[in-house]
Amino acid sequence: MDKKKPDIDWLLVVLAIFDPDNDIFKKGYVPPKRQSPYSPEMPLFNNSDELITNLPLLSRKELLKGRGGLFLTKEQKLQAKLQAKTARLQAMQDSIAKQRAKLEELQKPKEETYEITLAEYEEFVRLRDGAANP
């Protein structure tokens, strides 16, 4: 027999060997329906305060789209949109200001100072004068 991991076909072969008269092998066999762990009598959550009763029915499109401002008036919705856009505008302006500051920092000429000793300076002067008078 080939070595392979047990799968559905393997289990059926083993079941047929040990119990060939099982109902599974009869013609027209229909598996039983699976029982749901939730029954209609048993509620999924406690609604004693009736918080979720009489909610407005939403279409599938509205459910998929999302209804964050379900209980807001039109004016409140527009005010919320305005506040969100103002916050985004402020964030963009802050980002622009940061980028501008970085750009200005990069464009500044760097002033570098070097310290040299007196001996180095005298050698520089000697070399400079020697190059000027060949």
Establish if 91 belongs to a structural domain: yes
Instruction: Say how far apart CA 52 and CA 71 lie, in whole Å.
Output: 14
Establish if 100 belongs to a structural domain: yes
Establish if 94 belongs to a structural domain: yes
pTM for the model stands at 0.34
Establish if 95 belongs to a structural domain: yes
Establish if 61 belongs to a structural domain: no
Establish if 88 belongs to a structural domain: yes
Q: Identify the pLDDT of residue 70.
A: 62
Q: Are 76 and 69 in contact (CB under 8 A)?
A: yes
Q: Which of 94, 111, 90, 113 is nearest to 102 (CA)?
A: 94
Domain count, the chain: 1
Establish if 77 belongs to a structural domain: yes
Q: Identify the pLDDT of residue 88.
A: 94
Q: Are 67 and 58 in contact (CB under 8 A)?
A: yes
Q: Identify the pLDDT of residue 54.
A: 76
Establish if 101 belongs to a structural domain: yes
Neighbour-count burial of 127, counting CB atoms closer than 10 A to its CB (0-12 exposed, 13-18 middle, 19+ buried)? exposed
Average pLDDT per run of 10 along the chain, which is 134 residues long? 78 88 87 76 74 74 65 82 93 95 87 85 88 68
Give residue 98's domain range: 73-106
Q: What is the token pair recorded at 122?
A: 């005298």
